[in-house]
Amino acid sequence: MTSARGSSWRSKLPAPLIIPAVLAALASLVPLAYLVDVAFDRGAGFLWDELWQRRTLDLVVRSGFLAACVTVASVVIAVPLAWSVMRSDLRGRRVWRVALALPLAIPSYLAAFAWISWESSFAGFWGAFLVLTAVSYPYVYLPLTAAFGRLDQSLDEIATIHGKGSVPRLIVLAARQCRGTITAGSLLVALYVLSDFGAVATMRYDAFTWVIYGAYRAGFNPSRAAVLAVVLVMIALVLVAAEAVARGRAVSTMTSRAVARPRPIRLRSLAIWFHAAIVIVVGLAVLFPLWRILAWVSDHGVEDGVGDVAAALWGSVRYSLVAACITVLVALPIGLLVARYRSRTSLLLDRATYVTHALPGIVVAISMVFIGVRFFRPVYLESPFLVLAYVALFLPVAVGGVRSSAEQIPLGLDDVARSLGSGPMAVIRRVNLPLIAPGIASATALVTLAAMKELPVTMLLRPTGTETLATRLWTHTSVSDYAAAGPYALAIIIFVAIPTAIATSQR
């Protein structure tokens, strides 16, 4: 209807929103711009040479291969399991449904720590593959459960009537209807793998992020680190753009009409295989890391002392909480404009935050280092700078949270408020903000938790002498001091992973 398109007054953006929103969006693009600048520092010739070096091409192949393997494995795991918990009569499917989403809450470096501390020969491709598959298949699984839940069951019935109702065939049938969702999820997995630092660093697999970190650490070659980072961002941008297209298609093919609750398909003797598969996946992705961490802690006690763990926890909480509040505050004008106004500017704002979404943590980290060293000497490696880096990194998460809750408010409410005498800003103050307050709170919580488990930015930009749970765990793991790492891993489980699991499952 006409109201869905939104009123013409929505194309006129109020200045009190547009100015901070545009400034924030521009600021969030500064790291990327500066990175490109550093990459060109020694001229285009150097950049060209670096790009076409054998080792650069090898790097692209290695990272691409890892991303492809993890993506395929994620789809293979996610499709049948999502189907079994949504469309079949599998016993305990409601519990399994939640359990299969839990790995999302486990930081990759934590899972990597669990595996490598158990068996050091996991280092390399197989370790990285195993860990990344375990933590990233939920990016396919979660949207797919939602999509399967909305599928029309009549197709299942027709297939059964025509004698094509065997379970594998029904899974393929359902998957084909949700191709767009699977594609979008796969691209997110690939993006996650390329951006991940913790798993490949712990497993010493020479993927992009680890090599960029190495080039930066080596110190003598910032331009090479910048060139590689730019290449990584380019690949990530392609993935992000493809994901946006795939998601758009997935939404448009979805039927909007209410569909009767599907009657579950009987698995009969096949049920045991699905149970086994779910137990293996949840076991490898969740229970095994938990068991390893508890084993280290109970075998070796808390070696560093409770005081050190508490200090690291305080370090994590302090910066993360401050950063989350600022990030959400910065995200508010952008999220509101994108959700409530229709104009070229709000569309551009949306795209800009989407671009920053493609920036891997290590890329944000090194570009902030470059910026810090050149322009912010006095505060570089001071707490404000770390907070600033978190804001840049997590702005897309916060914008997404504000936006999705603001989009749920019917546009008609704004119109009514306007006709009752409220100006555009009064509508935001009196109608929109009160209604998105829960969304603001949950976005703040999510950003806090995301910052608490963040590794590369924290590692490179933390104020001298400050330790967080993530940096402690990383430092101990990187020198194979697993006994000392255990307590920090346990603290991350308790203070980050469990709250994240609770926060995301309530969505």
Please, which residue, 305 or 423, has the CB nearer to other proteins? 423
Q: Which 3 state secondary structure label does DSSP give 369? A: helix
Minimal distance, residue 9 CB to other proteins, in Å: 6
468 closest CA partner among 454, 482, 480:
454
| Residue with the two structure tokens 């698995």 | 267
Minimal distance, residue 439 CB to other proteins, in Å: 13
Measure CA of the first residue to CA of the last residue in the chain; give whole Å. 29
Minimal distance, residue 433 CB to other proteins, in Å: 10
DSSP summary character for residue 100: T
Pattern 389-428, binding to other proteins, x per CB under 8 A? Answer: ---------------------x-xx-xxxxxxxxx-----
Q: Are 266 and 89 in contact (CB under 8 A)?
A: yes
Supply 389's token pair. 């880096």
DSSP string, 458-488: HHHHSPTT---HHHHHHHHHHTT-HHHHHHH
Minimal distance, residue 1 CB to other proteins, in Å: 6
For residues 22-31, b (16+ Cβ closer than 10 Å) or e, as one string?
A: bebbeebbeb
342: left (phi > 0), else alpha (psi -120 to 50), else beta? beta
Please, which residue, 305 or 412, has the CB nearer to other proteins? 412
Please, which residue, 79 or 428, has the CB nearer to other proteins? 428
Minimal distance, residue 139 CB to other proteins, in Å: 32
Q: Are 201 and 213 in contact (CB under 8 A)?
A: yes
Pattern 169-208, binding to other proteins, x per CB under 8 A? Answer: ----------------------------------------
88 beta partners: 265
Please, which residue, 229 or 427, has the CB nearer to other proteins? 427
Q: How far is CA 7 from CA 11, 419, 476, in A?
A: 8, 12, 57
| Residues from 7 through 26 that contact other proteins (CB under 8 A) | 7-9
212 closest CA partner among 62, 59, 359, 37:
59
Please, which residue, 136 or 432, has the CB nearer to other proteins? 432
450 closest CA partner among 389, 497, 487, 404:
497
Please, which residue, 436 or 449, has the CB nearer to other proteins? 436
Please, which residue, 373 or 413, has the CB nearer to other proteins? 413
Please, which residue, 341 or 488, has the CB nearer to other proteins? 341
Minimal distance, residue 438 CB to other proteins, in Å: 10
- Of 6-14, 45-53, 72-80, 138-146: span binding other proteins (CB under 8 A): 6-14
Supply 358's token pair. 């493609």
Q: Report the amino acid identity of residue 175.
A: A
Supply 142's token pair. 């979660």
The number of angstroms, rounded, from the C-alpha of 208 to the middle of its chain's C-alpha atoms is: 18
Q: Which 3 state secondary structure label does DSSP give 291? A: helix
249 touches other proteins (CB under 8 A):
no
What is the rounded distance in angstroms from the CA atom of residue 342 to the CA atom of residue 339?
A: 8
What is the rounded distance in angstroms from the CA atom of residue 372 to the CA atom of residue 359?
A: 18
What is the rounded distance in angstroms from the CA atom of residue 167 to the CA atom of residue 270?
A: 8
Please, which residue, 17 or 417, has the CB nearer to other proteins? 417
462 closest CA partner among 380, 361, 366, 371:
380
283 touches other proteins (CB under 8 A):
no
Minimal distance, residue 437 CB to other proteins, in Å: 8
Minimal distance, residue 331 CB to other proteins, in Å: 21
| Residues from 307 through 366 that contact other proteins (CB under 8 A) | none
Minimal distance, residue 346 CB to other proteins, in Å: 18
Supply 392's token pair. 């840049």
Please, which residue, 153 or 422, has the CB nearer to other proteins? 422
Supply 477's token pair. 């793991």
198 closest CA partner among 470, 462, 467:
470
Minimal distance, residue 45 CB to other proteins, in Å: 49
What residue spans of 6-53 are helical by DSSP H? Answer: 15-39, 43-51
Q: Which 3 state secondary structure label does DSSP give 166? A: coil
Minimal distance, residue 425 CB to other proteins, in Å: 11
430 touches other proteins (CB under 8 A):
yes
Q: How many residues bind other proteins (CB under 8 A)?
A: 23
| Residues from 431 through 490 that contact other proteins (CB under 8 A) | 431, 434-435
Please, which residue, 1 or 260, has the CB nearer to other proteins? 1
Minimal distance, residue 432 CB to other proteins, in Å: 10
Please, which residue, 16 or 283, has the CB nearer to other proteins? 16
The number of angstroms, rounded, from the C-alpha of 242 to the middle of its chain's C-alpha atoms is: 16
Please, which residue, 303 or 415, has the CB nearer to other proteins? 415
Q: Helices (H), strands (E): how many in the chain?
A: 27, 0
| Residues from 136 through 155 that contact other proteins (CB under 8 A) | none
Minimal distance, residue 423 CB to other proteins, in Å: 6
Supply 250's token pair. 């997935």
* Residues found near other proteins in the complex (CB under 8 A): 1-3, 5, 7-9, 410, 412-413, 415-423, 430-431, 434-435
